[in-house]
Structure 1
Amino acid sequence: MELDSLREAFDRVIEKRASSSAKAQEVIDQIVNEVEQAITKMQMMNTDSMGSADHSSVLAELKAKLNELAPLNQLEGCQKELNVALSKYLKLLEKSFSPDISKAYRNVDFEASTINSIIANHFYRQGLFDLGDSFVCECGESDGAHLKFQFQEMYSILEAMQVRNLQPALSWAAKNHDQLLQNGSMLELKLHQLQFVEILTKGSRDEALKYARTHLVPFASLHKAEIQKLMACLLWAHRLDQSPYAEFMSSTHWEKLAEELTHQFCGLLGQSSESPLGVAISAGFQGLPTLLKLTTVMAAKKQEWQAMKQLPVPIDIGPEFQYHSVFVCPVLREQSSDENPPMLMPCGHVVSKQSIMKLSKSSSRPFKCPYCPSEAVASQCKQLHF
């Protein structure tokens, strides 16, 4: 992807910048060292009541040493390499990004209220409540604030977790106990585990044992092994960091649990854990260079890409933006669509519907699977749904 080449060029600029800075500091240190030595010599001469002629000799010696160091020549090479890397990066930026992106998107009529609601929800989802309120006030769309209070609750829980206060999170998990279990999440147990470890490390062994009997016992039947490890931690009270169970104290548990809580909280609200607006913009940003290049090529051929149902080239936006399975027919090498869905043959191989029609010549006659000796008829093939 073009973004990869941009990152590499940017990394080279950073590398050359660091090298140039280090070299400059080295030269400065050398100059300072020579000057300090000259000053020391002149101060010693003053104490010995020697004449100013000797000062002149020291200064002449300093000048000779500085000329020998040739600081400008030393810095010139590094600076030149930095300028070359920076120049290449700027040219690559100009080549990769076009100021006019109007050719790379379709004109779609969106309702202003829908867009405003999406933007407001994005601000609230990011915890920018003041900004979201200002936006809602200015656009006059009160519907955009319907998730504000739920996200305020979520961020208050996350802020409490940052200071190792699990009570708000535990209260929320207990209130949504049944729904979390239906989702297959053990968030509540993990919260109790962290709370148990906190009590054991900062409180007393008796308090930790009492907490375990109250809150961990209900999970014992399904999570016996985990709870046994926690009970073994009681033997290492106040020195858990020196025990075989020191990993329970890792800060990564808090970070992962905060991520899981965010995911589950948004899921129970019927929302994705990531901002839809942020995902759409990020995905569009990655796909934009390819689309711009495509529009340029097709314009030269006097073709209009916006009239196509399917783009002639794949848009690689990375696995983090792939939320659904995509099937590409191994025979026609085309991506499946509603009109050309994937079909499962009796032998277990999958090809597109158009491939089956071509192989069977649009009749009921048997045809051979392109990947094994098995034969099938079109009526035996079943459509797959991903």
Structure 2
Amino acid sequence: MDLKSIKDAFDRVANKQKLSYSKTHEIVQMLSQEIDKALSILQEASPFDHRSILADVKKMFTEISPVNQLEAAEKELNVALTKYPKVLEKQLNTDISKAYRNNVEFDTHIVNQIIANFFYRQGMFDIGDCFVAETGESECSTRKSFKEMYQILEAMKGRDLEPALNWAVSNSDKLKQVRSDLELKLRSLHFLEIAEGKNSQEAINYARKHIAVFADSLPETQKLVCSLLWNKNLVKSPYSEFLSPALWDNAVKELTRQYCNLLGESSESPLSITITAGTQTLPVLLKYINVMANKKLDLQNMEQLPVAVALPKEYQFHSVFVCPVSKEQSSDDNPPMMMSCGHVLCKQTINRMSKNGSKSSFKCPYCPTDVDISRCRQLHF
């Protein structure tokens, strides 16, 4: 999909609309001024001069021809509006059935659970409950956990850290195992709240009891305590960063990520990721299928996409190896193999180069080494 051409067409429509509006406003203002001027002259002139004054006004309106000027501006706008749907129709392929594989069997129960889980992890509990009831599914196993998570997040929105701190303390060992600094973030926010109340001694006592234990984060804890020296004018201090709302946003993101992690869930919705990645892949796949329509391409029997799709890094969850010779992506039947020289090719490429094992050795395509087939070893990413 060429988004640039769609954006350019939209920008043209928007610009023509602005020009049409400006032209209409200009003409209306000009006519209003001329009418006000004529009324002023009529009030001061004798009744015998009214006819000639009105004739002059009519002549002026005829010369200006406001209707023609408005029609010209509207015509340019209409031309742009007419072309825009054609650009959309050209770029947006509404028939996506060509990319649908009808030989894929879906487990309805699993799909329903995935959708319900999506609603709950987004905090849409009423919609999730309604969906579960209408589909006749059993309650999603993650509902209770996500409900607790959103109660904690709602409390944080109201600057109430107690539920979040209670959860972090109860899961302290697990958070340490994954090297999360969530508890320190929450303790720091609580410390700053105490200090904001101008109670420096209470803040120091809190730091000694709850923050000093984070010995691995000494620079951060030192900065927190030193900020007390500027307690009455923190905004103009070297520690003004502690006033940033980003501290709360980061704590919310970290709590969400770690809560989902301890549940065995990803911090981002799998359904959202799948749909977003699919929408980026679909236009490329449809274009390829249209090009190959006359070559009897059978998408139903393909085990992988017939064309490479470059997705952003956030959609790459495992290592992928592409053979530098055949340009084919490795698979279970065609795994990457490291040769004795250290270079890596796919198994099928090595078989072709050794003529399906009829030759015990062959030359590496990237160095002059004679490769012994028996010494090739499969790599596991």
- TM-score w.r.t. the length of structure 1 is 0.86
Matched, 1:263 2:261: no
Provide the C-alpha distance between the structure 1 equivalents of 2:188 and 2:342, rounded to a whole number of angstroms.
46
Provide the C-alpha distance between the structure 1 equivalents of 2:302 and 2:75, rounded to a whole number of angstroms.
54
- TM superposition shift of 1:365: 4.3
Change beyond 3 A, Cα 1:23–1:85: same
The answer to whether the Cα contact below 8 Å between 2:152 and 2:164 also exists between their aligned partners in 1 is yes
- Specify the code of the residue in structure 2 equivalent to 1:109: E
2:204 — aligned with what?
209
- Specify the code of the residue in structure 2 equivalent to 1:270: G
The answer to whether the Cα contact below 8 Å between 1:97 and 1:289 also exists between their aligned partners in 2 is no
Match of 2:325 among 323, 331, 334: 331
SS of the residue corresponding to residue 229 of structure 2 reads helix
The answer to whether the Cα contact below 8 Å between 1:104 and 1:295 also exists between their aligned partners in 2 is no
Matched, 1:378 2:373: yes
- TM superposition shift of 1:347: 3.9
Change beyond 3 A, Cα 1:56–1:237: farther
Change beyond 3 A, Cα 1:55–1:133: same
- TM superposition shift of 1:269: 0.4
- TM superposition shift of 1:178: 0.8
SS of the residue corresponding to residue 237 of structure 1 reads helix
Match of 1:307 among 301, 308, 317: 301
- Specify the code of the residue in structure 1 equivalent to 2:69: A
Matched, 1:248 2:248: no
Question: What are the equivalent positions in structure 2 for 1:155-166 lying under 5 Å apart?
Answer: 155-166=150-161
Provide the C-alpha distance between the structure 1 equivalents of 2:209 and 2:224, rounded to a whole number of angstroms.
14
Unaligned runs of 5+ in 2: none
Once superposed, what is the RMSD of the aligned Cα atoms?
A: 2.8
Provide the C-alpha distance between the structure 2 equivalents of 1:90 and 1:103, rounded to a whole number of angstroms.
18
- TM superposition shift of 1:216: 1.1
Of stretches 47-56 and 119-128 in structure 1, the one that deviates more from structure 2 is 47-56
Q: Deviations over 1:270-323 (max 9, x none)?
A: 111222222222333332233334445555333423223344322444433221
Provide the C-alpha distance between the structure 1 equivalents of 2:244 and 2:143, rounded to a whole number of angstroms.
32
- TM superposition shift of 1:234: 1.4
Identity %: 43
Provide the C-alpha distance between the structure 1 equivalents of 2:194 and 2:254, rounded to a whole number of angstroms.
22
SS of the residue corresponding to residue 343 of structure 1 reads strand
Question: What are the equivalent positions in structure 2 for 1:346-385 lying under 5 Å apart?
Answer: 346-360=340-354, 362=357, 365-385=360-380
Change beyond 3 A, Cα 1:234–1:110: same
Change beyond 3 A, Cα 1:302–1:81: closer
- Specify the code of the residue in structure 1 equivalent to 2:24: I
Change beyond 3 A, Cα 1:90–1:376: closer
The answer to whether the Cα contact below 8 Å between 1:169 and 1:191 also exists between their aligned partners in 2 is yes
Provide the C-alpha distance between the structure 1 equivalents of 2:130 and 2:240, rounded to a whole number of angstroms.
47
Provide the C-alpha distance between the structure 2 equivalents of 1:16 and 1:227, rounded to a whole number of angstroms.
55
Provide the C-alpha distance between the structure 2 equivalents of 1:311 and 1:77, rounded to a whole number of angstroms.
44
